[in-house]
Structure 1
Amino acid sequence: MMALVAAVDLATGPGTGFLPLISLGPAFAGLAGGWRRTAVLGAVALALCCVLGYYDGLLQSRRGFTAIGSVAGVTVAGTLAGVARRRHEAELASVRSVAEAAQRVLLRPVPAAAGHLRASVTYTSATAEARVGGDLYEVVITPHGVRVIVGDVQGKGLEAVGRAAVALGAFREAAHDEKDIVTVGQRVERAMAREPHDEKFVTAVIAELSPAGGALFLNYGHPAPMVVRADGSVEFPEPVRFALPLGLAAHGAEGPAPFTVRFGPGDQILLYTDGVTEARDRHGAFYPLGARAGLLDDADPSAALARLKADLQRHIAGPFRDDAAMLLLRHEPDGSKRDEGFTGS
């Protein structure tokens, strides 16, 4: 930019008044580079301005002083902005490292192999700077079977993250201790009820999966799970009795009635939050999850889920407007023979 301005100034002479445009060099450097680069380019621009001013005979005129002052002012402003941006980037990196630590504690990687199951999870926060949000998930291997939870906290921000932590902490403890999945749900409900009563709630699905018993569900006002059969057919099983979300037990409504879904070899269950099914394209159409079930036809559950997430991203064609979590569980009869690993994204 500075070379172009210098060439034009030399070609047209002092009458055109291009000399102050030399300040564009440090101005663009301040936008794209660090403060040191801005200061160096500013010094080069200032020297070039003096040389051109001498060549044009403007060093003793008001126009020459104005041009030199413009270059010096833009250089100082760009350097100070670069220092402030560097400090902000360091603070943002620190915040992100804390968020990553919080994610590892709150949303742990799920076991890739859990008994007769293979599992994979993906999570996307609607807040660009955040790694965690109001959605939650967990897979726990217990003596009573594999127990899972997927939920969505009302609201966003730190308050939603705090409520997600309460729900997950209660579930992790109860899933190991309680023989009955209904009691697991009741303990999570009591933990939520101990929080300050402000009508905030958590929709959730709690499930227990075993080779003999299939899939046993409790649905607390959450979107129905998607069951993809080995033959490719798709089901969205609904509870026999709908229940209020977790955290609203004070209203006196009955808890959810457990219901069982057949879950055999080759079948898959996708648990998800409403950030998936309520995602809209530019025309306002919701994401057709059931019609996209064929994307899960991959030997690797993680690859299958990655394909589904990529398709969801294409549907939105922009940033996520809500947190979106998906947990894929696949029934494989030889799953108990695999070593347990961990997977998640």
Structure 2
Amino acid sequence: MAEQARQRSLTLSILPFAVMAIVAVIDFTAGPGVGFLPLVSLGPAFATLAGSWRRTALVGALALALCTELAIQNDLWGERRGYTALASVAGVTVAGAIVAIARQRRMTELAHVRSVAEVAQRVLLRPVPRHAGNLRVAVSYTSAAAEARIGGDLYEVVASPRGVRVIVGDVQGKGLEAVETVADILGAFREAAHDEADLVAVSARLERAAERQLTGEKFCTAVLAEVTDKRSVTMLNHGHPPPLLVRPDGEVRLIEPPRPALPLGLGALDAEGPRPFRVDFVPGDQILLYTDGVSESRDRAGRFYPLEERGLLLKEPDPEDALATLRADLVEHSAAPLHDDAAMLLLRYHGA
């Protein structure tokens, strides 16, 4: 990926000079009757695609010098056609410099917005405990490479009096608005995880928080999990990608809910309400919770990341190393910068 970026940068750097050289050769070969001289302005036009306004001005100055030389060679110096060609080159150079300045300002503003959102997101997504109850915990968060596409991925692990409670979710939308919604939902979860008697009550608190923050048809998908000392995990899925269960004997499967609940923020449309379900979870088992930035990552051929097939990569003794291996495989599969944030939370049952 880095090599491809360098090649693109090199191509854009050479392109203006290559175009001017080609135009010069064609004009010199074809003679003044064909009228290729104004095409010298393509040099500063292509220079605008990359680089600063100073680079565009430099290429424009070279283009004016080249246009002047060709006009003299074609006996057009002092004639209307020669002046028109020079005016075209000068006009394109000025316009290109203005565009380059505007582009640089926009890039600076986007970088500022992105940095503010990333800082806010990192403050909200504080480090999770490595040990919680009977669990070893590891987390991985990979930001999207696209500018101003900070997502609404969220995760948290709370050791409550009733067991370890976990949430992984994804707020619809991008940018600071999504980060604000993440703040509200995480704040509600951190309180409800300690106060409420079961996951249904926790879900109700999150639903009220989402309804206050989310407007229109926006929503937040989420998976809630509760692990106690009963060697089982209770889950409640609000329209989120199903977690991955990996057992020591090599069994790997997705934990599909019997009846998924609607995403948070849309609870008013579900008369029955969410239904938790229970799955056996014993020492040696692992559960991977993740966002759709993982499961919907595509390779060059457009194929989704085969997460269920890659579950056995989580075999490293240390859960953080296991998650790092899976993340590296995800990045290799994508063969390009991720277009959406990708969060993964690994729960490994290690006993008392």
Scaled by the length of structure 2, the TM-score of the pair is 0.76
Alignment of 1:1-345 (within 5 A): 1=17, 2-3=20-21, 5-6=23-24, 14-15=32-33, 17-114=35-132, 116-123=135-142, 128-153=146-171, 155-157=172-174, 161-178=179-196, 180-194=198-212, 200-210=218-228, 213-238=231-256, 243-250=261-268, 251-264=270-283, 266-274=284-292, 276-277=294-295, 287-309=305-327, 311-312=329-330, 324-332=342-350
Question: Residue in 2 aligned with 1:343?
Answer: none
Residues 148-169 of structure 1 deviation map (CA, whole Å, 9 limit, x = unaligned): 101244x434665544433221
Q: Cα RMSD between the aligned structures?
A: 3.7
Residues 20-59 of structure 1 deviation map (CA, whole Å, 9 limit, x = unaligned): 3332332222222211121122123223322332343321
Measure, in 2, the Cα distance between the counterparts of 1:107 and 1:100. Answer: 10
| Between 140-149 and 311-320, the greater mean CA deviation after superposition | 311-320
- Following superposition, the deviation at residue 87 of structure 1 comes to 1.3
Give 5+ residue unaligned stretches, structure 2: 1-16
Assess, with a 3 A threshold, how the Cα gap between structure 1 residues 237 and 65 changes in structure 2: closer, same or farther: closer
- Following superposition, the deviation at residue 70 of structure 1 comes to 1.8
Q: Is the 8 A contact 2:152 2:173 kept in 1?
A: yes
Q: Is the 8 A contact 1:118 1:332 kept in 2?
A: no
- Following superposition, the deviation at residue 228 of structure 1 comes to 0.4
Instruction: Give the SS at the match of 1:47.
Output: helix
Identity across matched positions, percent: 59
Residues 241-283 of structure 1 deviation map (CA, whole Å, 9 limit, x = unaligned): 654444455454244235252231x321111245544667788
Instruction: Give the SS at the match of 2:309.
Output: helix
Q: Is the 8 A contact 1:243 1:253 kept in 2?
A: no
Measure, in 2, the Cα distance between the counterparts of 1:171 and 1:292. Answer: 30
Measure, in 1, the Cα distance between the counterparts of 2:239 and 2:37. Answer: 68
| Between 179-188 and 54-63, the greater mean CA deviation after superposition | 179-188
Measure, in 2, the Cα distance between the counterparts of 1:121 and 1:137. Answer: 10
Letter in 2 for 1:117: R
- Following superposition, the deviation at residue 218 of structure 1 comes to 3.1
Assess, with a 3 A threshold, how the Cα gap between structure 1 residues 241 and 36 changes in structure 2: closer, same or farther: closer
Give 5+ residue unaligned stretches, structure 1: 335-345
Residues 166-202 of structure 1 deviation map (CA, whole Å, 9 limit, x = unaligned): 3221001222344654543333234335557856544
Measure, in 2, the Cα distance between the counterparts of 1:226 and 1:201. Answer: 23
Question: Residue in 2 aligned with 1:338?
Answer: none
Q: How many residues align?
A: 331
| Between 5-14 and 284-293, the greater mean CA deviation after superposition | 5-14
Assess, with a 3 A threshold, how the Cα gap between structure 1 residues 198 and 18 changes in structure 2: closer, same or farther: closer
- Following superposition, the deviation at residue 291 of structure 1 comes to 2.2
Measure, in 2, the Cα distance between the counterparts of 1:55 and 1:284. Answer: 53
Measure, in 2, the Cα distance between the counterparts of 1:318 and 1:279. Answer: 10
Letter in 2 for 1:75: T
Measure, in 1, the Cα distance between the counterparts of 2:32 and 2:214. Answer: 73
- Following superposition, the deviation at residue 330 of structure 1 comes to 2.3
Q: Which has the higher contact order (CA 8 A, sep 6+)?
A: 1
Question: Residue in 2 aligned with 1:339?
Answer: none
Measure, in 2, the Cα distance between the counterparts of 1:198 and 1:41. Answer: 49
| Between 281-290 and 214-223, the greater mean CA deviation after superposition | 281-290
Assess, with a 3 A threshold, how the Cα gap between structure 1 residues 279 and 267 changes in structure 2: closer, same or farther: same
Measure, in 1, the Cα distance between the counterparts of 2:108 and 2:89. Answer: 28
Q: Is the 8 A contact 2:299 2:333 kept in 1?
A: yes
Letter in 2 for 1:175: A
Instruction: Give the SS at the match of 2:272.
Output: coil
Measure, in 1, the Cα distance between the counterparts of 2:29 and 2:55. Answer: 29
